[in-house]
Structure 1
């Protein structure tokens, strides 16, 4: 096999000379960001298409979330024998944030598989599909903020200037949604067992994360107080707290911000490494 033939075979598998470079990885992210008008429009169209011919349209996003939050809040407040005025907002806001996190994880694992046609026939950066996914999940989150506003009217909380921390907190969620989608999306195109495995792990993580239960309630029980503190090793808990605490006027725990900051840096490092090495192969794997 001569050098020209070997070069053509490498090119067919996305391993052409120079295909694995940091410049191309960062260039893909930059090119995708420059096309924000396109992925912004596509993300909005995804929502409109889902509720096409529906009378209430995207309002169903908030209605369905509100019904679930109300049902779980009432049920678990009775089980834990706690005040519904504080527990219902805790559950509702937790679900609101969890929907964004789980949406980025679950849809991120199939972000390239679901866009197979566009990837094969549209000369666009891979990151465009990631931006589109995170933007779509952001729109869902903004729709559901109506529930938080209603709860703050019905069950007033002592909100202060710390409420503004919810903005950078959510920005960190969105930034992490990017590297998670890149990493899991690329792995899932190569190994199709990844999405169902991730779905199972996310389902388990829901019950292990204080969404429909509270650390404060368990800490009040001397028998399980020490075990309740083990929630600190769950990174999803910290992602929840950097947004939920400001939205509910609770004490800001800076430890959670530090944990999320470290995960963000490490996560993007791994995500960019994966993008650098396998970005060119995705079109052949899907």
Structure 2
């Protein structure tokens, strides 16, 4: 068999899907590695990963209090809104920024340990789930202070979180492969996400634009896909009315994203070890 034939056989959707399935099957490995990442980051720290919780909580409270005054919004409504926005944003932002470095950061393991590439992506997403679990404590405390009416429909946030996890996987796969080949992608994504933070309704909302007479910007904001990802989790947790259009956009992007991820895995999975 020639090198060309071997390369052609490796570029199949079956091989790409097998990598994803085999990687998920090695749960003990990436669950352990993800947990070790958290422990290693806060080694010899008394509070450990709760430092992230404290930092996120402090930022949320400060920004929620400040912007509720600036925009003349009720603190009881705006503080939970900002807090959830920051918590969800941190998870999405990490899947983009850290996802672009997921293969480069694991160069040693990729070259020395024969494991599916997807193991490193699952490890990243699992690590972000752990951090999300720590940070959601902030919202629980705020929800106790400023209680909201709940209904059984609000439990849809669990499904929404599952959808975001699925999207975090394909985002990390796509940007990870792309940034491994072109190292300028990482800094570019960092700049883009900084811009998107201010273009996404996290510290401001629709009422803010209406008060400023900028209702026309609402149509432009709708083009930001991160708005829809935020809303499917934040709306049920805030007890707000859920809009089906947000779910529709997320579902469509999930299908398209996974199609692109499978294509990228099919074409470039075998080359990542040479690029890192």
TM-score (norm 2): 0.97
CA distance in 2 between counterparts of 1:216 and 1:235 reads: 20
Which residue is equivalent to 2:240?
250
* Aligned residue in 1 for 2:10: 19
* Counterpart among 264, 282, 285 of residue 254 in structure 2: 264
| Matched residue, 1:38 | 29
In the alignment, what sits opposite 1:195?
186
Could you say what secondary structure the match of 2:222 adopts? Answer: helix
Q: 1:232-278 CA distances to partner (integer Å, 9 max, x unpaired)?
A: 11100000000000111110111100000000000100110000000
Q: By how many angstroms is 1:220 displaced?
A: 4.5
Runs of 4+ in 1 over 4 A off after TM superposition: none
Superposed, 1:1-286 pairs within 5 Å as 7-8=2-3, 10=4, 16-221=7-212, 223-286=213-276
- CA distance in 2 between partners of 1:229 and 1:161 (Å): 31
Q: Following the alignment from structure 2 to structure 1, what is the Cα–Cα distance between the partners of residues 145 and 263? A: 47
On the 8 A contact 1:25/1:275 being kept in 2, the answer is yes
Alpha-carbon deviation of 1:230?
2.4
Instruction: Write out per-residue CA displacement over residues 182-238 of structure 1, whole angstroms, 9 at most, x where no aligned residue.
Output: 1000011110000000000000000000001011332355x2122223211110000
Aligned residue for 2:127, secondary structure, equals helix
49-58 or 90-99, which moves further after superposition? Answer: 49-58
- Aligned-residue CA RMSD (Å): 1.3
The answer to whether the 8 A contact 1:219-1:228 is kept is no
1:77-116 per-residue CA deviation (whole Å, 9 max, x = no partner) reads 1110111110011000000000000010100000000000
Which structure's CA Rg is the greater one?
Answer: 1
Q: What is the total number of aligned residue pairs between the two structures?
A: 276
| Contiguous gaps of at least 5 residues in structure 1 | none
Q: Secondary structure at the match of 1:54?
A: coil
Question: 1:112 aligns to what SS in structure 2?
Answer: helix
Q: Cα distance, 1:143 vs. partner?
A: 0.7
- For residues 241 and 261 of structure 1, the distance between their equivalents in structure 2, rounded to whole angstroms, comes to 13
Question: Could you list the runs of 5+ residues in structure 2 that have no partner in the other structure?
Answer: none
| Whole-angstrom distance in 2 between the partners of 1:214 and 1:17 | 50
Q: State the Cα distance separating 1:17 from its structure 2 match.
A: 3.7
CA–CA distance in structure 1, aligned partners of residues 261 and 23 of structure 2: 16
1:23-65 deviations in whole A, cap 9, x for unaligned? Answer: 1000000100100111001111111111110111121121111
